[in-house]
Amino acid sequence: MTSSDPAARFSALIQRFFMERLIEQRNVSPRTVASYRDTFRLLFSFAEAHLHKPPHKLRLADFSADLILAFLKYLEIARHNTIRSRNARLAAIRSFAHYATLLEPAALPILQRVLAIPMKRFDRPMVSFLSREEVQAILDSPSVNTWCGHRDQVMLATLYNTGARVSELTAMRVRDVVLDRSACVHLHGKGRKERAVPLWRATAKQIRRWLRRINPDPDQWLFPNRAGGQMTRSGVTDRLRLAAASASTRCPQLKTRRVSPHIMRHATAMHMLQAGVDLTLIALWLGHESPATTHMYVEADLAMKQRALNAIQAPQFKQRRYRPSNNILAFLDGL
C-alpha cells in the first residue's frame, strides 16, 4: 500500500482482498468468491447513490459503520432481502474489514465500528415439506413428449432422489453421472465438498433415456436450458412451479403450497426419516456439515413426536372437583 491516493489505495485493497486473501490464502470456492463479489457490487452501487461518489473515487474512510448500516437497511427494505441474506452480506463485509485492519492500521477506529455491527437474529420457521402423494403428482406432471417436458421430468426425479441443492442440480454435468450396476451421481456442494449419492433404478433408467436425447459429451450440462447452456436457479424454480401447478388438478392441496426446489430437498429428508433412516446418514446424504442441522426434520415430524409420546406412559392424576372460593381476590392472587 504505497500509493498516496486514498481512492487508489482502497481500490488496491479490495483487489488484494479477493486475489490474496480469498483465492490465494483461503482458497475459497468459486461460489464464495461470486457471493462476495455480488456483495461488493451492491455495496458500491449503493455508496454511489448514497455518497454521490463513483466506485473508483471511494476511500477506506468512506467505508464507515453508518454507510454499512444504511446499506443493510436498504437490502431489507428496498430489495426485500431476508434477514439471512442480510447477514450473509454483512459476513462478507466483516471479512474484508478484518483483512483491512492488518494492512491499514490507521483505519482501525473506522473498521472496529464496522466489525461491531451485529448479525441480526431471526425466527426459524418450521420446516415445510411435501407429502409422498404431492411429490408423485409433481413428478408425473411433465410430458415426455416435448424436449422441455422430458428434461423437467428427469430433472425433478433426480432432484427428489438426491435431495440436492438447486446449485448442485444445475452444476451437474454428464460426467458426474455413473450409470453402471451401482448407479450414482457426484454432487459438488458447498465449500468444495463433494459427495456421491446413489440413484434408484428408475431414476438411472430415466437418465439413460434422457442422455439419448442430448449431447452425451462428458462436459455437457446434464440438464441444459433450451440454448444448451446451464440452467439458472430461477429457471429450475419456474419449471418446478409449472409442474406443481399442473399437478394441482390431481392434488388440490398443491394450490395453497409454495413449492420450491428446497422444499423438494426437505421432502427427500423427511421421507427418509419417516422410513427409519438414521439421522447421520441423512446428514451425509444432504451434505450437511453437522448432523445437528438435520435435527430440524425431527422437529417438523409431528407423527414421529406422537409415536414417541405414545411410547411413554402418561402420569396418573387424582381427579378433584373444583370448588369455587368465596374470595374472588384470593382466587386472582393464586393465579
| pLDDT reported for residue 326 | 66
Check residue 100 and give its pLDDT. Answer: 96
Q: Residue 246 — left, alpha, or beta (φ > 0 → left; ψ -120 to 50 → alpha)?
A: alpha
Q: From 71, 51, 42, select the one nearest 7 (Cα to Cα).
A: 51
Whole-structure pTM value = 0.67
Nearby residues of 44 by Cβ (< 8 Å), 6 or more positions away: 55, 58
Per-residue pLDDT of the chain (335 residues; tens, 9 = 90+): 556 789 999 999 999 999 999 999 999 888 889 999 999 999 999 999 999 999 999 999 999 999 999 999 999 999 999 998 999 999 999 999 999 999 999 999 999 999 999 999 876 666 678 899 999 999 999 998 999 999 999 999 999 999 999 999 999 999 999 998 889 999 988 767 889 999 999 999 999 999 999 988 999 999 999 999 999 999 999 999 999 999 999 999 999 888 999 999 999 988 998 888 888 888 889 888 776 677 667 665 656 556 655 666 656 666 666 666 667 766 666 66
First to last CA, the chain: 69
Q: Which amino acid is at 184?
A: C
Task: Reply yes or no on whether 165 is catalytic.
Answer: yes
CA–CA separation, 197 vs 122, rounded Å? 32
Taking the CA atoms of the chain, what radius of gyration do you get in angstroms? 26
Which residue type occupies 85? S
Q: Of the residues 190, 195, 241, 257, which is catalytic?
A: 190
In angstroms, what CA-CA distances link 321 with 317, 324, 331, 332? 12, 10, 16, 19
Fill in the DSSP letter of residue 276: T
**Catalytic pick among 21, 150, 188, 265:** 265
* Cα angle value 295/300/304 (rounded, 5°): 90
Residue with grid cell 442422455, as numbered in its chain: 211
Out of 150, 165, 239, 271, which one is annotated catalytic? 165
pLDDT at 58: 95
The single residue of 31, 195, 205, 262 carrying the catalytic annotation is 262
Catalytic residue at 56? no
| 9 flagged as catalytic | no
Q: What is the pLDDT of residue 298?
A: 64
pLDDT at 129: 82
**Total residues found in the chain within this entry:** 335
- 297 catalytic per annotation: yes
Residue 166 three-state SS: helix
